[in-house]
Amino acid sequence: MTLALPDIPDLAACLERLWRQIPVGRVATYGDLADALGDRIAARWVGHCAMHHAHDDDCPCHRLVRADGGLGNYISGRIEDKRRRLRREGVASRDGLVKLADHRFTRFETDRPLVALRRAQEAIVEHVSLRPPRKLPELVAGVDVSYTASGEGVAAYVLAEAASGNVVWKTIVRRPVRFPYITSFLSFRELPLLVDLLDEVDRQVHRADVVLVDGSGLLHHRHAGIATHLGVLRGQSTVGVTKKLLFGTVDIGGMRPGESRPVLIDGEPLGVALRATAGSRRPIFLSPGHRIDRAGAEATVRAVLRGRRLPEPLYWADRLSREAARESVHFSQMEHKPDDSGKGETGER
């Protein structure tokens, strides 16, 4: 079976189509719209999008309210504008609350796009292999993605020797990014970039034995974090590494430098909390992505720790992607500003 990325929807356009279905005299909560998209976990992003979208006088975004009927914020910055528009449509509020029992609308026509993406993650899990490595890797890479103010993604790949931690090769790719950040759906925001990045790596013949991914592996709501998804799509050994725990439980109180503790999901140890240094009080969280087991994932990360909280390949990938994203902003500003020779500069180097 050939696995590929599913079609990734324009979620902002999907959301706008949904809120334009809310009739005059009715309201919907951010959670109602998230449900219509296919997952209540998107409610926070719905609220963010309601405050940062292309708005005009005909836009019905004033019909979006909080779960308790509270008016919430409004894109104009003036809550009185929202209250006035709702009142003109027959929706009164008392003490800042709309009576949802009288005005709530939930009968959206929708194909629930997040459901299809969730099913794609569930399908990936069936192909995950958690096998112990025969030996420690010789070459370990880190991949990370940063974003410019214009919404472009910059993905960085840094290849390092496990024995020394020395960087031996690095590269970046830049691409527009459409899909928003929604908890547990990071794959669909960053995978297109990372797949293109690893295509370039293969063309340049700099493939790593193990790739460390800035994101979760099995420590994910569906055991299908971005490290897992990327590993299965590419047939690559991957480990997810995060600074915050996305999913699972672990007691990190009183951890000593160098100590690790298992992270549990439904009582099963699927990842590791590791306090990498004495200078960092909080641990990092590791989990296998694909073609490596939990012990192998921890051993690989430990092999490339060099006194920082993050393992060396990820530390440098993070820096490289951030610097390239900043350069993109700088050079985009320079595009229409001649230098001393009268020639413009572009953002690509």
Q: Is 59 a catalytic residue?
A: no
What pLDDT is stored for residue 34 in this prediction?
98
Topology (CATH level 3) of domain 11-111: Arc Repressor Mutant, subunit A (1.10.10)
> Quick one: three-class SS letters along the chain?
CCCCCCCCCCHHHHHHHHHCCCCCCCEEEHHHHHHHHCCHHHHHHHHHHHHCCCCCCCCCHHHEECCCCECCCCCCCCHHHHHHHHHHCCCCEECCEECHHHHECCCCCCCCHHHHHHHHHHHHHCCCCCCCCCCCCCEEEEEEEEECCCCEEEEEEEEEECCCCCEEEEEEEEEECCCCCCCCCCHHHHHHHHHHHHHHHHHCCCCCCEEEEEECCCCCCCCCCHHHHHHHHHCCCEEEEECCCCCCECCCCCCCCCCEEEEEECCEEEEEEECCCCCCCCCEEEEEEECCCHHHHHHHHHHCCCCCCCCHHHHHHHHHHHHHHHHHHHHHHHCCCCCCCCCCCCCCC
What pLDDT is stored for residue 2 in this prediction?
57
What pLDDT is stored for residue 305 in this prediction?
97
What pLDDT is stored for residue 336 in this prediction?
33
* Tens of pLDDT, residue by residue, the chain (349 residues): 458 889 999 999 999 999 999 999 999 999 999 999 999 999 999 999 999 999 998 999 999 999 999 999 999 889 999 999 999 999 999 999 999 999 999 999 999 999 999 999 999 999 999 999 999 999 999 999 999 988 899 999 999 999 999 999 999 999 999 999 999 999 999 999 999 999 999 999 999 999 999 999 999 999 999 999 999 999 999 999 999 999 999 999 999 999 999 999 999 999 999 999 999 999 999 999 999 999 999 999 999 999 999 999 999 999 999 999 998 654 333 333 333 323 232 222 2
Q: Which CATH superfamily is domain 121-328 in?
A: archaeoglobus fulgidus dsm 4304 superfamily (3.30.2170.10)
Spans of all domains in the chain: 11-111, 121-328
**Which residue in 14, 49, 59, 61 is the catalytic one?**
61
The structure's pTM equals 0.91
